[in-house]
Amino acid sequence: MTRHAFHIRLVTFLVSLTVALFADGFGASFVSPVSARGSEKEGHLRCVEHGPRNAPAVALTFDACRINEKTTLDRDILRALVEQHVPATVFVTGRWMEAHPGETRELAANTLIELGTHSQTHPDMRKLEDNRLGKEVLEADGLLRSLTGRRSRLFRFPYGYSDDRTIRAVTSLGFCPIGWDVVSGDPDPGVSASTMAAHVIRSTRPGSIIIMHINGRGKNTAKALPAIIEGLRNKGYFFVSVSDLLARGSVDEWRE
């Protein structure tokens, strides 16, 4: 067995083990089941950055971070998704949920929206010791559960900053680390709606996971979204949640 294959098997084993251990905890209240785990490239563990490349299913994802700034729930984005019947996955931090408990419940009640967590306080998790790192993951998970009665196995690292140790820690807690392969660039107010839409449409490939923001940080996201949805549909793509995307293929298929 090559070292790469061993790493994949190790992660797969750890995740199936922890999923089994967590089965009771997640149970019926679990947001949506995934049998997913991180992938591995060039000897290092990686977050899941895309789904299988053999079908035109893609996932729109939106982060709801809250660091020190004032945040919101961008209702224009939600409206665009609902109008076009587009499912999406939203990654919420604990701090954002604390500031927006009603909006968190509202997202959970929307059948188009799948929720994942994005840590409690949005730190660079590579700088945290194991204990604190686990707390960041579990506090956000606990808050999601207490607000909505649900849990999610999907976890997104703040800033996308991760390494072997942090990915191993997150997967060993039963969570699947979700990255992205298409960056919308939406926190930059200098990126116009039309530039953003053109870039996303051009960069998306079968299985892509696209990252945007729904916390008010994406200044032109809502304006770009209808064009992104239409443009991708015109190219034959259809939209699924991250869990549905991951359910469509195995780890090996995710590897390029």
What is the contact surface with Zn ion in residues (CB under 5 A)?
Answer: 63, 65
Residue of closest CB approach to Zn ion: 65
Nearer to Zn ion, 26 or 180 (CB): 180
Q: Shortest approach of Zn ion to residue 212 CB, angstroms?
A: 11
Closest CA to 232 of 207, 253, 215: 207
Instruction: For residue 41, list its beta bridge partners.
Output: 44
Closest approach, Cβ 122 to Zn ion, in A, equals 6
Nearer to Zn ion, 63 or 103 (CB): 63
CB 229, CB 200: distance < 8 Å:
no
Q: Say how far apart CA 7 and CA 4 lie, in whole Å.
A: 5
Shorter beta-carbon distance to Zn ion: residue 40 or 186: 186
Determine the residue type at 50.
H
Name the residue nearer to Zn ion (CB basis): 63 or 136: 63
The candidate with the shortest Cα–Cα distance to 248, out of 37, 27, 35, 19, is: 35
Tell me the CA distances in angstroms from 244 to 30, 51, 104, 141, one per residue in order. Answer: 14, 9, 21, 20
Minimum distance of Zn ion from residue 176's CB (angstroms):
17
Q: Within 10 Å of residue 4's Cβ, how many Cβ atoms?
A: 14
Q: Among residues 40 and 63, whose Cβ is nearest to Zn ion?
A: 63
| Shortest reach from residue 107's CB to Zn ion, in Å | 16
DSSP-derived secondary structure letter, 125: G
The nearer residue to Zn ion, 65 or 73, going by C-beta atoms, is: 65
The amino acid that residue 152 corresponds to is: S
CB of 2 to Zn ion, least distance (A): 34
Does residue 253 come out as left (phi exceeding 0), alpha (psi in the -120 to 50 range) or beta? alpha
250 touches 9 (CB < 8 A):
no
| Apex 139 CA angle, 160 and 158, nearest 5 | 10
Q: What's the closest the beta carbon of residue 157 comes to Zn ion, in angstroms?
A: 9
